[in-house]
Structure 1
């Protein structure tokens, strides 16, 4: 089941080294966020956000927009600050205790997850990737940052209405979820439990208010959290979720490398990619890799359907 069974960096090294040549684990880990936080290929190519581009083709049968439960009650900021005021930050990283990596034990499917991080260099839309998933009827969980959702509101309406996709929370400002300012790849994290609360709940409430979504899963900017931040997520009723297989190294891999990573997926795995960099190799690589994987009998699920 991937890291769901063996949560260690050796597993990441085995998975990531297959098609990466001399590129080390540290460089690959840093590349997780390059599709969001550094000048990605979409921006270098002058790509526009969804508001200025053709929308990807919707599925033929779209379900009505879900309605967030008005009964959803979250602990208040002050309540969380009081509860966690003496809780140490603990470990900080991609796979600290409390973060889910793979699917729950016994799952026969795998899950594809794709991040959209927002901001000046991360608000594009990979319509070809969405079309490829729809063409093959492969479900995916889309982790959406508030900035991206605001920049792509019409497309958000479409994605929310498409039963093939689940929308999850990728944070408010795309910061690492920390309680004492820990940084990842030079990106400063939230500096207190109060700021961590705002990073999760700002977007959680925005998704509910604007799109009727109660997100069940959270992935922080850079995918880094500390133990206190992960515990806070669970206290808020959202699952802190990372991954077992890095599909596109922050939208920096070419199509063949992405396809090779997709082919490594097995039952219980969770793959991470990006759907905000249309000039990347992600769409073509996912389409190439899925053909062989689906032929092998592996099926895919959204995260919620697996929990």
Structure 2
């Protein structure tokens, strides 16, 4: 039952009504030409990558398959807050209250951002990417489970081939790089489901697949009290999964209630930048 709740939650978090966000950024653009892109997106031979994986048959499917990272090594009481922005017709809002709180309190966080969300909120995205508190990472192009054989997760059709896996990762990778000048190193798929062949392919592109140890808001379906309680169960090195695209959820209030209590316990907050993932 717990596993069912977790997986349904990841799906529900991207299925609320969407609105286009607004930003205070004016006349800012970080578009790069192809010569400025990382080597994988220019010289990486897509055909060679596809060829090297096309005959591999996966044996695993889920949130914690071989190669997926769910925590990080630390010798102190550190916790990583990560927030997904799923995008699409039902997931492109912005939880401004949550983001303003993190900014005002100086709380760093890692933001996994989907291509569709960027399309609806480009100026807000650029503002977040400029903020040194926030680390921008890749949440996929079409928010699909990452499968080389067309598996589905909770009713969502996954990628159906090695080529589609490549494109789900790299199309948004290129978008983020062009807009920010920084190439993401981390990836989390829609529904957080993978097979191990897709995970290995990502690794060959220099990208780590990152999931979670704490289900922070159950796809933005938790009440604020449930969010708070989930975060208060944190252990050092945990990665919490929450959402920043559902402002009508209990996520912001729960995070705001949990952070002072976590600080009292001695916790500090870090991004996943330069962490040793496990």
Give the 3-state SS of the residue equivalent to 1:141 in structure 2. strand
Contact 1:117 1:123 in 2 (8 A): yes
| Cα deviation code 1:123-173 (max 9, x no counterpart) | 000001101111221100000000001110110110011000000000000
For residues 24 and 267 of structure 2, the distance between their equivalents in structure 1, rounded to whole angstroms, comes to 29
Contact 1:66 1:213 in 2 (8 A): no
| Cα deviation code 1:56-102 (max 9, x no counterpart) | 9xxxxxxxx79899362113321111111222222010000011011
Contact 1:98 1:231 in 2 (8 A): yes
Aligned to 2:102: 133
Aligned to 1:13: none
Contact 2:150 2:157 in 1 (8 A): yes
Aligned to 1:290: 259
Counterpart selection for 2:158 from 181, 185, 189: 189
> What displacement does 1:55 show?
6.0
Contact 1:101 1:270 in 2 (8 A): yes
1:73 aligns with 2:73: no
Contact 2:5 2:218 in 1 (8 A): no
In structure 2, relative to structure 1, the CA distance for the partners of 1:245 and 1:67 (3 Å cut) is: farther
> What displacement does 1:294 show?
1.1
For residues 66 and 150 of structure 1, the distance between their equivalents in structure 2, rounded to whole angstroms, comes to 14
Aligned to 2:20: 49
TM-score scaled to structure 1, two decimals?
0.83
Contact 1:266 1:298 in 2 (8 A): no
Give the 3-state SS of the residue equivalent to 1:230 in structure 2. helix
Contact 2:31 2:179 in 1 (8 A): no
Matches within 5 A, 1:148-163: 148-163=117-132
* Paired positions, count: 269
Contact 2:77 2:266 in 1 (8 A): no
For residues 242 and 32 of structure 2, the distance between their equivalents in structure 1, rounded to whole angstroms, comes to 27
Contact 2:7 2:191 in 1 (8 A): no
Aligned to 1:8: none
For residues 234 and 183 of structure 1, the distance between their equivalents in structure 2, rounded to whole angstroms, comes to 22
> What displacement does 1:211 show?
2.5
Could you list the runs of 5+ residues in structure 1 that have no partner in the other structure? Answer: 1-22, 57-64
For residues 71 and 156 of structure 1, the distance between their equivalents in structure 2, rounded to whole angstroms, comes to 19
Counterpart selection for 2:227 from 246, 258, 273: 258
For residues 108 and 261 of structure 1, the distance between their equivalents in structure 2, rounded to whole angstroms, comes to 16
Counterpart selection for 1:225 from 172, 194, 197: 194
TM-score scaled to structure 2, two decimals?
0.91
Counterpart selection for 1:200 from 157, 164, 169: 169
Aligned to 2:5: 27
